[in-house]
Homo-oligomer: A and B are copies of this chain.
Amino acid sequence: MENEARTMHASTLEPMVRKLEYRQKLTKEDRDAILRLPHTVRRYEPHHYIVRDYDFTETSCVLLSGFAVRHKIVAGGQRQILAVHMHGEMVDLQNSMLGRADHSVQMLTTGTAALIPRQEIERIAFERPAVGKALWIDTLVEASISREWTANVGRRDARTRLAHLLCEFSLRLKVAGLGDQTNYELPMTQDQLADATGLTAVHVNRTLKGLETDGLIGRRHPRAIEIGDWRKLAKTGDFNSAYLHLQEDEPALQG
């Protein structure tokens, strides 16, 4: 059943450790302290809201499986997706540390998440500077991605925007250990892509088709993205991975 807390193992938070370790060195003690964080695990269905705009939040949420988005609704009821989250990411550090949500977090697919009391996050952050720094850096990298998205919707045309998003997914899925850089499954509908890029679903459709026609991507079915020439797509998408702050030894960061 949705929303039912389930028994947990000592290694449930392993994805969180993996994520934090990616950019910041942790000791065994740090890792164990993270794994020992009290938490409950819940399973969510697509479209389920983990947090709603204006909610008062007391817990932080780590996505263990599935995909989620953050979004805002503007006056006309239109939606802007602000970020897409995957395996191991803290989808709600932002809202929980500020006490009151300034945007919503919603599941894109089915998935599971671990809820950790905000106090515990704060405690571990200052008791263990390495963990604190890892959390801080994570926050900063997310902010960096957010800036790139602002530039993407603000100053790029539809084709460039979409190509950029496809490149970002490509790398992030790979780094998260969820797929192949040149061949992956989009976790979003064209409606959702539209909300992420500030376009309409109709225009997303046409633009994707254009990318396909021009041989920049292949699609065995609408969601199955296949990138033939990565550099070419990256160029079309004005994509430079620097803003993702990936490790320097990460292969294939062309663009």
Contact = CB atoms under 8 A, between A and B. Distances in A.
Contacts of A100: 242, 245
Contact of A74 (B75, B133, B156): B156
Interface string A76-118: 1011101000000000011001101011000000000000000
B143 A139 contact: yes
Nearest to A239: B75
Nearest to A126: B129
Contacts of A198: 153-155
A144 B143 CA distance: 9
A149 interface: yes
Which residue, A122, A142, A154, A160, has most C-beta atoms of chain B within 10 A?
A154
Interface residues of A, number: 48
24 contacts: A54-B242, A70-B147, A74-B160, A75-B160, A76-B155, A79-B155, A80-B151, A82-B151, A93-B140, A94-B143, A98-B245, A100-B245, A102-B147, A102-B148, A122-B133, A125-B136, A126-B132, A132-B132, A136-B136, A143-B143, A146-B150, A154-B154, A154-B198, A155-B198
